[in-house]
Structure 1
């Protein structure tokens, strides 16, 4: 694996060979992240502290693209160690707050120009996004919140960044379909189902309490669920915005109601967005699942991949 950094003024440097590394990928927050440890001598590169961008490749395939947050060099009797930490490209949107704005009818060009383009983010799938009436960005909200809310209101999907650092706005269309059978090097499997935190009903109202809307999670209510949330929106948004807000809260609460976590030997067994067909005998696991988050790397016990899967509907 080759790892590189680029400085604020465009200089590039290949890092020493990694001893241990971990790349974590997900959707939304927390965003993708990486840690990397390399051996170094006693001559510290002047570029390490100037780096802003990090990427890693193996066999011509990009494994990670992100922003460099921290560089540490240490030395003891065993020698020198270089440690780098950072996050994916979503960090640029998460770290920058916005000035409040109200749109009578916001289109993707408005969002791209105001909250994506200033940070040099590449994106794909924006042509499928329709206009959103009465769209509001709160003062102090992150650029990521503006993008995420707009995309979700357009077509109900979550924006996410791939390993090339490209922002996807059209869901999981680029995900690969894979089959995991009993032949895979499975280390462990954990299947968790929860009820706590799943919302059965959301009452959304305006600040004055004059307009309200109730949204119910009918399937959870039918199974005995009782968890109500009251949500107050600033200003007057109208019934459409209220219903969206209630549905969004219910969807987020139920997203990880059923989670399967698989830990496999080896790196890069699957990636975020991949659709997995399970056909395993021990333990007996079947069905279609989507990779919601994954972590892969090399540690003292060798290579590993940990997949967090949600049931594919």
Structure 2
């Protein structure tokens, strides 16, 4: 793996071989995060950006949030904490404004492009309508709100800074285990979280009452009663999305892998070699890759696709 730092002026420096590194990605976290500990050689130029690559493929590029020099008996160390470009969308407040039926390209151009984003992928079609940006909203909240309301999807930004909404990453199926080149795993745990389930969603009508009920039959058959209410700006499709998200959250499969399994969140996955046979219909939810003196390891959390 290669680790490169860049000053604000664009001067490149090789950070060398790290003592430890961790990169975290998550479907619910817009920005990936990086923490690295490197032997410090005495250079004192602040690093503003960091780039990590493995076998020619980009693993991480982001902006340094924190750097610290640490001194101990075993030598001087440089600690770097960084987040990917999506952090700029989280950290910047959007200008309050009102849109009249904007296309997503307009929202993207005004709220993402100024921070270095140039590519997005969304499903064809999609709705539009009145859309306003309130005081205090971050740029990310604007983009997320528009995607959820009019594209029916929670957005995600890949390590290559591609903005996705309602579209899967292009990595293809990730295979864990098995004898045909799958990513090896050493431990597996399955967690059923019934407290995440929702049995009914009630949608507000134009009259202001909540007479439209959208049930989740599977959850009801489990004897679970847990209801939610949506405002009139939502609809049956929004209620279906709330129920589907709750079902996904109620199942988690965790793997420990003795390898650098840097899968993109949202990518479909299958687990082979599990007790009871192959487990399919999964997608990557969280990935935490680490590198230490003991080697490479990855903790992976998978959820049901639906």
Query: What TM-score range do you get, normalising by the shorter chain?
Result: 0.7 to 0.9
Query: Quick one: distance in 1 between partners of 2:279 and 2:145?
Result: 33
Match of 1:59 in 2: 55
Deviations 1:277-307 (A, max 9, x none): 2231457442231111111121343211111
Partner of 1:110: 106
Unaligned segments of structure 2, at least 5 residues: none
How many residues were matched structurally? 302
Instruction: Call closer, same or farther: CA 1:136–1:216 in 2, change over 3 Å.
Output: farther
Report the Cα distance in structure 2 between the residues aligned to 1:145 and 1:307, rounded to whole angstroms. Answer: 27
Note the alpha carbon deviations across 1:221-267, whole angstroms, 9 max, x for none.
Answer: 34322112345x5xxxxx45354554444344333111111111011
Tell whether the 8 Å contact from 1:27 to 1:161 is kept in structure 2 after alignment. Answer: no
Query: 8 Å contact 1:158–1:171 — kept in the other structure?
Result: no
Measured on the aligned residues, the alpha-carbon RMSD in Å equals 2.7
Deviations 1:156-191 (A, max 9, x none): 333212222222234214132133334453221110
Select the structure that is richer in strand: 1
CA distance in 1, matches of 2:255, 2:15: 31
Quote the Cα distance in structure 1 between the aligned partners of 2:123 and 2:263. Answer: 28
How many Å apart are 1:71 and its aligned residue?
A: 0.5
Aligned to 1:223: 222
Q: Closer, same or farther in 2 for the Cα pair 1:218/1:284, shift >3 Å?
A: same
1:95 aligns to 2:88 (yes or no): no
Partner of 1:19: 19
**Structure 1 contact 187–265 (Cα < 8 Å) conserved:** yes
| TM-score using structure 1 length | 0.84
Q: Taking structure 2 as the reference length, what is the TM-score of the superposition?
A: 0.86
5 Å matches for 1:1-313? 1-29=1-29, 31-41=31-41, 43-48=42-47, 51=48, 53-126=49-122, 128=124, 130-183=126-179, 185-205=184-204, 210=208, 212=210, 214-219=212-217, 220-230=219-229, 239=232, 241-243=234-236, 246-268=239-261, 270-282=263-275, 284-313=277-306
Distance in structure 1 (CA, Å) of the matches to 2:158 and 2:30: 14
For structure 1, the residue ranges without an aligned partner over 5 or more in a row are 234-238
SS at match of 2:264: coil
Determine if contact 1:182/1:282 at 8 Å carries over to the other structure: no
Name the SS for the 2:28 alignment partner: coil
Indicate the SS of the match to 2:101: strand
